[in-house]
């Protein structure tokens, strides 16, 4: 876990500091928030909070939220790279799983509708093309029934296509 040197410290409250820290590579980060208490447990998160002052070093995890604000958290057993330490709630996990299932079902339904739409338009177009060729040869008496016959043929053949091209 990285070690940070406290370069500057302003105590906003007894349990909240705004600090400037320098990492082991010499990179300075300013306006970093440090809180003594873990908001989840209400217990002291830093083992040596009272001795944190300019010039001291702390081991921790620097995290920047999406709005660009910096936070320094103490090392914890469940730290994950790039994230603030947190505990995963089973209730939140179950909600996420339900959401993923609903999204998956929606995608499956949309895909099925798309495939059906392609089948409808392609068989209608194919029947029209075949009928046009037959009309040009003068081989059609009843256009409507002939169109429905070819459309039904193409519809039934749609799902029975060979694995490879027949030509």
Mean pLDDT by 10 residues, the chain (167 residues): 85 87 88 84 78 86 89 70 43 67 86 89 92 90 90 87 68
- Whether 133 and 95 map to the same domain: the answer is yes
- Whether 70 and 98 map to the same domain: the answer is no
Q: What is the pLDDT of residue 93?
A: 55
Per DSSP, the three-state class of 25 is coil
Largest CA distance in the chain: 100
The verdict on residue 166 lying in a domain is no
Report field, pTM of the whole predicted structure over 0.75 = no
Domain final residue, candidates 74, 105, 121: 74
Q: What is the pLDDT of residue 148?
A: 93
Each residue's pLDDT tens digit, 41-75? 777 788 778 888 888 888 888 888 888 899 888 87
**Structural domain range at position 42:** 3-74
Report the number of distinct structural domains present in the chain. Answer: 2
Each residue's pLDDT tens digit, 36-49? 887 777 777 887 78
The verdict on residue 68 lying in a domain is yes
- Whether 94 and 137 map to the same domain: the answer is yes
Alpha-carbon torsion 111, 117, 122, 127, what sign? Answer: positive
Is the Cβ–Cβ distance between 148 and 131 less than 8 Å? Answer: no
Q: What is the pLDDT of residue 94?
A: 61
């Amino acid at each position: 876990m990285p070690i940070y040197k406290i370069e500057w410290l302003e105590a906003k409250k007894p349990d909240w500091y705004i600090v400037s820290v320098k990492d082991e590579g010499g990179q300075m980060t300013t306006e970093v928030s440090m809180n003594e208490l873990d908001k989840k447990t209400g217990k002291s998160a830093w083992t040596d909070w009272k001795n944190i002052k300019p010039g001291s070093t702390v081991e921790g995890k620097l995290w920047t939220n999406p709005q660009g604000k910096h936070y320094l958290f103490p090392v914890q057993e469940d730290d994950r790279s790039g994230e603030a330490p947190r505990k995963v709630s089973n209730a939140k996990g179950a909600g996420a799983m339900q959401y993923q299932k609903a999204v998956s079902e929606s995608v499956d339904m949309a895909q099925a509708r798309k495939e059906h739409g392609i089948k409808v338009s392609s068989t209608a177009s194919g029947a029209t093309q075949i009928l046009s060729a037959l009309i040009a040869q003068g081989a059609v008496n009843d256009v409507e029934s002939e169109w429905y016959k070819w459309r039904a043929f193409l519809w039934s053949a749609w799902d029975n296509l060979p694995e490879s091209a027949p030509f």
